[in-house]
Structure 1
Amino acid sequence: MATDALNSRKAAAVAALAVAGISLTSIPAAAHTGAGIRRPASPGADVRVAAAPGVPELPDGLSARSWMVSDADTGDILAAKAPHRRLPPASTLKTLFAVTALPKFPAGSVREVSAEDLEGVGDGSSLVGVEEGERYRVADLWRGVFLRSGNDAVHVLASMNGGWDATAQEMQKTARKLGARDTTVKSPDGYDTPGQLSSAYDLTVFARAGLANPDFAQYCATASARFPTRDGVTQIVNTNRMLAGSHGLTPYPGIIGVKNGYTTHAGNTLIAAARRDGRTLLVTVMNPRSGEYNAVYKEAGSLLDWGFESVGKARPIDALRTVRSAPEGRTAIAPESRAVRRPLATGTRGTTGTITTVTAKADRGTSKNSATALWSGGVGALALALAGTLAWRRHGRRRGGPPEGDA
């Protein structure tokens, strides 16, 4: 019995050391202060970017409260500032609305708009001009959502989807299926609502999932389109200035979407995707604080420039949570033991690439300091060590600024 007790204590000690070693070495590099990680002082102490030969310094003048640069094909995160910081998303949340509802209705189906469809459109909302009693194709409504960020079009589509509250609940479920844990949906159109929050990480996940749908990719890449009115048609222009090339900006080289937003509470928000030399990058920027005109677009553009110079050189700091397409256009977490390849639609020209999901687990503590990470790792190690000891014993017994988008 004494020998058994001694063996049990030895096994527990070995298990604790082994698990602690695994836990500590699994802490993301940013939790350590060793060489190889560059933490630029100017953008803020919560910036993470891996140093590697040939990787340029991050651009100057980054004032956003949160941002992230990622490779849409591989899911690699190249650099980020507080990517899990929960902030109001404004109309960038419409990407989640589209991922949730767009696959359900044929583009050519027609909806006659009722008064009930337009109930509850918030004061000051951006509108595309949907009118009660008129008939609209679903494709026209989606163009109203993506180009003009029309909350009136969102309300009609949400009515088709079972109602406003039901759509918000379904969007919340979709976010969780995609592995987006920072998002709380209160209003499907992104209108300022108490408690409605998302993050640069989650918005990037939504955009990446959306770009795998050719219809989503085509809508978000459209710079201008014709929209029906009672008097005929009118021309609508995308409020994404980086795409449309408006308000003193030229279209960003290789731009393929995705969505911009603005509310008083959220400030300016933007998810931008661009493709060059066979690489598709995603940049999400939330609430620049510089006050500079077109700040959200300029900061996104500079981050895209940095990303294209760095991709293939920078060691990823993290990876987007693994996702794959599921039946009826829905999405789900893919098994971590498998890599899944799926087509990445890239806009109106019909060119395609691929999204390769990755097996690395997402770091949900990127903005936490090393002490917190070490403490959490220690607790996890202890719990696993105790579990290992119990299993060993059982085994032994068995054996014996100004608006820059929309509102």
Structure 2
Amino acid sequence: MTPPHRRRRRPWTVPAAGATLSAVALGLVVTTTYAAPFAGGSPLPRVVGPVAAPAVTPSCQPWQTRQAVPSGVTLTPRVFPTDEPAAPTAPARPTSRPTARPTATTATAPKPPKVRVVCRNAPPTPFAHPAWEPESVVGGSRMAETGVLVDRPASVPAPPEVYDVSYVVADLETGEILAAKSPHAWLRPASTLKTLTALTLMPRLDPRRVVVAGQDAQDAAGSRVGILAGNRYPVSSLFDAMLMFSANDAVYALADAAGGYDATVALMNAKAEQIGAHDTLTVDPSGLDDGAQRSSAYDLALIGRDAMRLPAFRAAITKRDAVFPGGKDKQGKVWPAFHVYNINELLRHYPGAIGIKPGRTDRAQHTFVGAATRGGRTLVVTQMGSITGSWKPTAALLDWGFANADRVAPVGRLVEPGEAAAPVPAPELPALPTGGATGTGGGTGTAPPSGTGTPAPVAAPTTEATAYDRTLSLVVLAGAGVVVTAAVALLALARRRRRAA
């Protein structure tokens, strides 16, 4: 029998178990604390299902934008915005939870979805220009507005939705503007500027005159008819090549005949100011993207209307083909005469079309000046900044104009030559303070520039994985707290039993 004054030794397993539980709890706490935040400040994403294969990012041109194309979507040539293929919708999540979780041996992982990134032409951004006094805007105060402008009753449908950054639909005879979209936006005109070249030079040059082409004409960039330096060409043939085939070499040959490149540019700018086309600035008479060369849909309507008053211009733009003279090159080879065709597709597809001039450059994208006659009425349509070269949007705007010309109120008008002065800039308001007791911080008082429909870039990953990881970290931390509490309770119980013994 053990003497009563001798205490019973407690087993060593109790403190060992307590120490082990405490060490495990401390390890969980430390691990959770340092694993919850990522080194870069963001948690690692949770992998849910198959991982999409990384898309190869192409190198796009400055006038293009990257666009992600989901699997199953086929890109087609752009005509109308409503024809853009929509991305496939994600399948709905099941409402009931599965009874059994598939294992790695029985479940077959689906193939990761393929996403490709392509370069697509983006609508150009208009040049910045000062705000104008509404009463001084050429064509009427509403012409200073942006977006689609139309004064129609509820029974009249809205104008068709098109890709154009800017357009004007007007009556060629009365000058009434039936509908418009940002009519005074400053944009690059591309080859529609050749309409102003013809309006300026046709009254100055005898169509029977023969011009000797220079080397600058032969070396012209862009579209060319094939002029050979040192050869002789009639002015009428040069106008045909310029207006029908949009030949830049013919433009430079005509400019030489009119006094030279610089003299022609000065004459074109003076002509634009005379007819009220104050948005237009000519730098290159061919329309190529050069410097700050610009125009507007409103100005192109003025230029097109005045050019259509020239019989020689009307005759040239409606020709389907013409014979262009040949010549002899520097190697002595003789090139025979050949046919030049009209590149205006509206003439071939739209009944009643009478012109006028298409254009395209990389930075301007597609521009167009068109006209058609139906039922004794002639309409002119000008379009700028489109990403489609199809004739169908032009035809849709013309159809809408012919159907509703007598049912809508004009939103503006085309001014006559010498009638309108340049618009007056609006006074600038003083900038508001960005600090102080009443300041909200950071503002400059100017609104950000509006978008032009550029496709959105590839979307960034969502925050679902981030939220999941944070929740998981909290659960682990709570579990570690429970373990620590249990360990402390066990130690306290062991100590109490020791005292009782």
TM-score class, shorter: 0.5 to 0.7
1:305 aligns with 2:399: yes
Question: Which residue in the other structure is 2:157 paired with?
Answer: 56
Q: Is the 8 A contact 1:319 1:362 kept in 2?
A: no
Corresponding residue number in structure 1 for 2:416: 322
Task: Report the Cα distance in structure 2 between the residues aligned to 1:181 and 1:52, rounded to whole angstroms.
Answer: 32
Contact 2:165 2:385 (8 Å CA) reproduced = yes
**Structure 1 Cα separation of the partners of residues 320 and 360 of structure 2:** 18
Specify the alignment match of 1:396 in structure 2: none
Pairing 1:90–2:190 present = yes
Residue identity over aligned pairs, in percent, reads 38
- Structure 1 residues 111 and 253: CA distance shift in structure 2, 3 A: same
Question: Deviation of residue 57 (structure 1)?
Answer: 2.4
- Map of 2:220 onto structure 1: 121
Other-structure match for 2:4? none
Instruction: Give the 5 Å matches for 1:54-203.
Output: 55-60=156-161, 62-115=162-215, 117-118=216-217, 121-122=220-221, 125-203=222-300
Given that residues 321 and 362 in structure 1 are in contact (C-alpha distance below 8 angstroms), is that contact kept between their aligned partners in structure 2?
A: no
1:217 to 289, 302, 314: 314
* Structure 1 gap ranges (5+): 1-21, 33-44, 246-250, 324-332, 335-360, 376-407
Counterparts of 1:31 and 1:263, CA distance in 2: 26
Asked if the contact 1:53/1:313 (under 8 Å) is kept, the reply is no
Taking a change above 3 Å as real, the CA distance of residues 220 and 30 of structure 1, as seen in their structure-2 partners, is closer
Residues 328-357 of structure 1 show CA distances to partners (whole Å, capped at 9, x for unaligned) of xxxxx15xxxxxxxxxxxxxxxxxxxxxxx
State how 1:348-367 maps to structure 2 within 5 Å: none
* Aligned with residue 228 of structure 1, among 301, 312, 325: 325
CA contact (8 A) 2:177 2:412 kept: yes
For normalisation by structure 1, the TM-score amounts to 0.65
RMSD in angstroms over aligned alpha carbons?
2.7
- The CA deviation string for residues 79-115 of structure 1, in whole angstroms up to 9 with x for no partner, is 0000100000000000111110111122111112233
User: 1:42-63: CA deviations, max 9, x gaps?
Assistant: xxx7110011375332113x11
Mapped partners of 1:268, 1:128: distance in 2: 20
Report which stretch shifted further, 207-216 or 133-142.
133-142
SS of alignment partner, residue 136 of structure 1? strand
Q: Distance in 2 between matches of 1:304 and 1:314?
A: 14
Query: For 1:31 and 1:112, how far apart are their aligned partners in 2?
Result: 45
Count residues in correspondence.
285
| Residues 1:321 and 1:362: Cα distance change in structure 2 (over 3 Å) | farther
| Superposition deviation, residue 159 in structure 1 | 0.3
Q: Which has the higher helix share?
A: 1
* Aligned-partner Cα distance in 2 for 1:206–1:81: 18
**SS at 2:407 equivalent:** coil
Determine the structure 1 residue equivalent to 2:439: none
Please give the alpha-carbon distance, in whole angstroms, between the structure 2 residues aligned to 1:216 and 1:263: 23
Structure 2 unaligned residues grouped into runs of 5+: 1-134, 328-334, 430-501
Give how far 1:232 is off. 2.9
Residue 280, structure 1, aligned to residue 378, structure 2: yes
